[in-house]
Amino acid sequence: MRLRLTPRDTTFFDLFSTLAAHLVTGADLLAQIVGAEPADRSVLADRLRDAEHDADDATHSIMRRLNQTFVTPFDRDDIYVLSSALDDCMDFMEAAGAMIVLYAVEGLPEGVNDQVTTLQRAAELTADAMPRLRSLEGLEEYWIEINRLENEGDRAYRGLTALLFSDPIYQESPAGVVEMLKLKGIVDSLEDAADSFERVANTIETIFLKES
């Protein structure tokens, strides 16, 4: 590990851990929304929105600290990219949950459960990895597993997209087409969340390579 001769503000590590913990909360709430009866989803979506606001606050705290700190734990641009990617994970999960409620979706294809399960696992792994940014030890397995999960999510996404465009139930009437478009928006947002988790992992790998 490269020797540093200047002090570093270690507050960033705590802030990243706090932000990542909100992602675990958000992913679990999203899973509850997907599994709930339509009438029960609105309350859960409100809680997910609150979690998204908490994540925003944590992101803003990182940005303020970045503007106030001269010597940072690692490259300033990487701190910005990492915090933005973490925030994107929550934004896309919250958007998916909100669409499920706003679109009054009755039933969700089974593949959506697979997407959300992948996001829950990615959130847990990310939260577990954040404290290890202090030492940059034991992180390689994290980004390898996140990349594997993202590939898994890609397969679920492709399967859902194929289903939506091929199943006659979504093609035989204007109402079916509208339902297909609603579901496509939801699965797209879930895929964007998975991509954001991969961006977090790739950024951490970049930080590791720079600091080693």
Is residue 56 included in any domain, yes or no?
yes
Tens of pLDDT along 91-133? 999 999 999 999 998 889 989 999 999 999 999 999 999 999 9
Mention every residue, 6+ apart, whose C-beta is less than 8 A from residue 40.
none
Q: In the block, which residue shows the tokens 């979506």?
A: 45
Tens of pLDDT along 18-35? 999 999 999 999 999 999
Tens of pLDDT along 149-208? 999 999 999 999 999 999 888 888 898 899 999 999 999 999 999 999 999 999 999 999
Is residue 4 included in any domain, yes or no?
no
Is residue 68 included in any domain, yes or no?
yes
Counting the structural domains of the chain, the total is 1
Lookup: tokens for 12: 């960033």
Is residue 1 included in any domain, yes or no?
no
Is residue 2 included in any domain, yes or no?
no
Is residue 3 included in any domain, yes or no?
no
Is residue 6 included in any domain, yes or no?
no
Q: What is the pLDDT of residue 69?
A: 79
Is residue 91 included in any domain, yes or no?
yes
Q: What is the pLDDT of residue 9?
A: 60
Q: What is the pLDDT of residue 145?
A: 97
Distances (CA, A) of 201 to 8, 10, 141, 169, 175: 23, 20, 10, 38, 40
- Assign residue 70 the CATH number of its domain: 1.20.58.220
Full domain range(s) for residue 162: 11-211
HEC per residue, the chain: CCCCCCCCCCHHHHHHHHHHHHHHHHHHHHHHHHHCCHHHHHHHHHHHHHHHHHHHHHHHHHHHHHHHCCCCCCCHHHHHHHHHHHHHHHHHHHHHHHHHHHCCCCCCCHHHHHHHHHHHHHHHHHHHHHHHHCCCCCCHHHHHHHHHHHHHHHHHHHHHHHHHHHCHHHCCCHHHHHHHHHHHHHHHHHHHHHHHHHHHHHHHHHHHHHHC
